[in-house]
């Protein structure tokens, strides 16, 4: 196993995948790692939806792009970037999930007030554990407007009382991913 700090620093959001799928054993391993994440009052308010059906992933990508367009038109604040992004969303065949073989949606129990944070911690465990095994991952926030639609979530098999928090893709990386620039953090010390 690689050194933890190296894993943290070299994990990348992977957007280019090989065809071969991640094994069920690996997905089970990632979910096992997720459940060791901290959670408010140890409520562990998560649930995992594993989607490996290509057609389902494709349909969700198309629904996701459609649901994102009105938001993108409102929120993209960089006029130079906006047309490219919106035309990406409007182009049939562009895949929000970067053609990854597995999509795992971490669902949070609506009754838990800390579910969003707990699920995000579980997501980071999964992404780091994946990287430790050479599996690539990426959080796909762009699909959230579609996943906020109860009908779509139900159709995917989400249990009642849960909301989507962290849609994560996993696959075997194709090529290398360069690290996007990191800013120096602003830190204020009080001693």
| SS3 state of residue 113 | coil
Report how far residue 60's alpha carbon sits from residue 161's, in angstroms, rounded to the nearest whole number: 21
Window of 8-16, 45-53, 55-63, 69-77 that interacts with ligand FMN by CB under 6 A: 8-16
**At its nearest, how many Å lie between ligand FMN and the CB of residue 167?**
8
Confirm or reject binding of residue 105 to ligand FMN (CB under 6 A).
no
Window of 7-15, 86-94, 103-111, 155-163 that interacts with ligand FMN by CB under 6 A: 7-15
| C-alpha closest to that of 46 among 4, 104, 103 | 104
By rule CB under 6 A, what string of x and - marks binding of each residue 170-189 to ligand FMN?
A: ----------x---------
What is the token pair recorded at 101? 């073989």
Report how far residue 116's alpha carbon sits from residue 168's, in angstroms, rounded to the nearest whole number: 14
Count Cβ atoms below 10 Å from residue 166 Cβ, excluding itself. 25
Site for ligand FMN in 119-138 (CB under 6 A): 138
Confirm or reject binding of residue 38 to ligand FMN (CB under 6 A).
no
Residue closest to ligand FMN when measured from CB atoms: 141
Contact by Cβ (8 Å): 102, 52: yes
Count Cβ atoms below 10 Å from residue 109 Cβ, excluding itself. 19
By rule CB under 6 A, what string of x and - marks binding of each residue 136-155 to ligand FMN?
A: --xxxxx-------------
The residues binding ligand FMN (CB under 6 A) are 12-13, 15, 138-142, 180
């Amino acid at each position: 196993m690689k050194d933890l700090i190296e894993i943290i620093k070299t994990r990348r959001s992977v957007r280019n995948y090989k065809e071969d799928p991640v094994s069920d054993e690996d997905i089970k391993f990632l979910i096992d790692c997720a459940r060791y994440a901290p959670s408010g009052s140890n409520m562990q308010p998560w649930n995992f939806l594993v989607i490996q059906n290509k057609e389902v992933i494709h349909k969700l990508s198309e629904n996701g792009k459609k649901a994102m367009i009105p938001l993108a038109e409102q929120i993209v604040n960089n006029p130079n970037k906006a047309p490219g992004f919106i035309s990406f969303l409007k182009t049939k065949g562009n895949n929000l999930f970067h053609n990854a073989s597995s999509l795992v949606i971490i669902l949070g129990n609506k009754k838990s007030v800390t579910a969003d944070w707990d699920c995000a911690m579980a997501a980071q465990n999964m992404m780091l554990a994946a990287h430790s095994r050479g599996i690539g991952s990426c959080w796909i926030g762009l699909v959230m407007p579609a996943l906020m639609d109860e009908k779509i979530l139900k159709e995917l098999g989400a249990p009642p009382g849960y909301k989507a928090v962290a849609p994560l893709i996993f696959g075997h990386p194709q090529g290398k991913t360069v690290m996007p620039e990191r800013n120096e953090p602003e830190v204020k010390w009080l001693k």
